[in-house]
């Protein structure tokens, strides 16, 4: 099980030392960025400090992106279509059934769906109990600047409750404290986002961070050491890893390259939008998403 940390409380819950998002956090960010950029190897206590720095950097970036002009980077169609209150979210959920039918007729042919059905059992999901929410065309997110982020989702009417989302992610980041991943169960309120984030990062040979965001602030996060569990995980620039997340009720199961990294328990959000995201701590970040799809479970 991953350890759950709170950048707000600044105390220790399960194992990993916690860091605030203040001055200490920024010092750790600077240290981690320098060490990772120079390719310094770490182990033991030093590796734990690096992990804390990576997490702090991602938390800081995710929060700052909402508080700053980074929200303008969200695609115009996203800012117009996302729900900003529960009533709109309910309306979007009603529309989702109709969109699913249209998607099946338009793009999700038997040929396109077959690989999805074949992959689902690897995540413990029964292909007979669900439907394709969407199949996303390949997309590249290019961002630069300090603590910036960008989203992509061409199927904004689809709301997911229990789901599987998977994508091949090819990355190129200047620092290991930047990353690529997915947004889960988002309410789409760009002024005060409520959502989950799952971000894969190159830092310390590969980590995946699960973040809980409330009103635009990351309040808790869980760190999973991908490279330590997944022998296929590669952290080098211009390489590809497959990220998959299964959300069932309050349990989120996170996979890379078919390997289960761990489970996270959280009961804050039970439904919302799913999107692709890139977080840039500094410099430049390119995230390419391919073979990306959303499956909505019915049981």
Each of the 299 residues of the chain gets a pLDDT tens digit; together they read 555 666 544 322 222 222 223 322 332 232 243 333 333 333 445 545 555 665 666 666 666 655 543 443 444 444 444 444 444 455 555 565 556 556 555 554 678 899 999 999 999 999 999 999 999 999 999 998 888 888 899 888 899 999 999 999 999 998 777 899 999 999 988 778 899 999 999 888 889 999 999 998 888 999 988 888 999 999 999 999 999 999 999 999 999 999 999 999 999 999 999 999 999 888 899 999 999 999 999 87
pLDDT tens digit sequence for 175-220: 777 899 999 999 988 778 899 999 999 888 889 999 999 998 888 9
Picking from 297, 293, 281, the residue whose alpha carbon sits closest to that of residue 114 is 293
What is the distance between the alpha carbons of residues 46 and 15, in angstroms, rounded to a whole number?
A: 15
Q: Which CATH entry fits the domain spanning 67-297: 2.60.40.10, 3.40.50.720, 3.40.50.10420, 2.60.120.560?
A: 2.60.120.560
CA 141, 138, 33: angle at the middle one, nearest 5? 30
Residue 141 CA, chain-centre distance (Å), reads 14
Question: Is the torsion defined by CA of 10, 17, 180, 147 positive or negative?
Answer: positive
Picking from 180, 172, 161, the residue whose alpha carbon sits closest to that of residue 273 is 161
Ramachandran bin of 177, using left for φ above 0, alpha for ψ from -120 to 50, beta for the remaining angles:
alpha
pLDDT of res. 108:
45
pLDDT of res. 174:
84
pLDDT of res. 10:
32
pLDDT of res. 60:
67
Both tokens of 262, joined, read: 């761990």
């Amino acid at each position: 099980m991953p350890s759950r940390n709170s950048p707000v409380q600044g105390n220790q819950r399960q194992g990993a030392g916690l860091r605030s998002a203040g001055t200490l956090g920024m010092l750790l960010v600077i240290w981690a960025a320098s060490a990772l950029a120079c390719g310094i190897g770490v182990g033991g206590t030093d590796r734990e400090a690096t992990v804390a720095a990576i997490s702090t950097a991602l938390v800081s970036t995710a929060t700052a992106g909402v508080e700053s002009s980074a929200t303008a980077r969200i695609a115009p169609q996203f800012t117009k279509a996302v729900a900003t209150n529960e009533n709109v979210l309910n309306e979007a959920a009603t529309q989702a059934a109709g969109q699913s039918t249209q998607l099946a007729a338009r793009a999700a042919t038997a040929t396109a769906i077959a690989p999805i059905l074949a992959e689902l059992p690897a995540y413990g999901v029964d292909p007979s109990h669900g439907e394709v929410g969407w199949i996303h065309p390949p997309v590249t997110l290019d961002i630069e600047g300090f603590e910036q982020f960008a989203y992509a989702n061409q199927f904004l009417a689809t709301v997911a409750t229990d789901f599987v989302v998977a994508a091949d992610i090819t990355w190129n980041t200047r620092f290991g404290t930047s990353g690529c991943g997915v947004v889960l169960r988002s309410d789409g309120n760009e002024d005060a986002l409520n959502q989950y984030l799952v971000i894969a990062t190159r830092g310390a040979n590969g980590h995946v961070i699960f973040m809980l965001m409330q009103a635009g602030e990351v309040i808790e996060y869980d760190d999973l050491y991908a490279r330590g569990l997944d022998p296929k995980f590669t952290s080098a620039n211009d390489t590809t890893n497959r990220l998959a997340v299964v959300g069932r009720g309050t349990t989120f199961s996170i996979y890379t390259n078919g390997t289960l990294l761990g489970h996270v328990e959280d009961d804050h959000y039970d439904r919302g939008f799913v999107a692709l995201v890139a977080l840039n701590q500094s410099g430049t970040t390119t995230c390419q998403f391919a073979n990306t799809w959303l499956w909505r479970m019915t049981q």
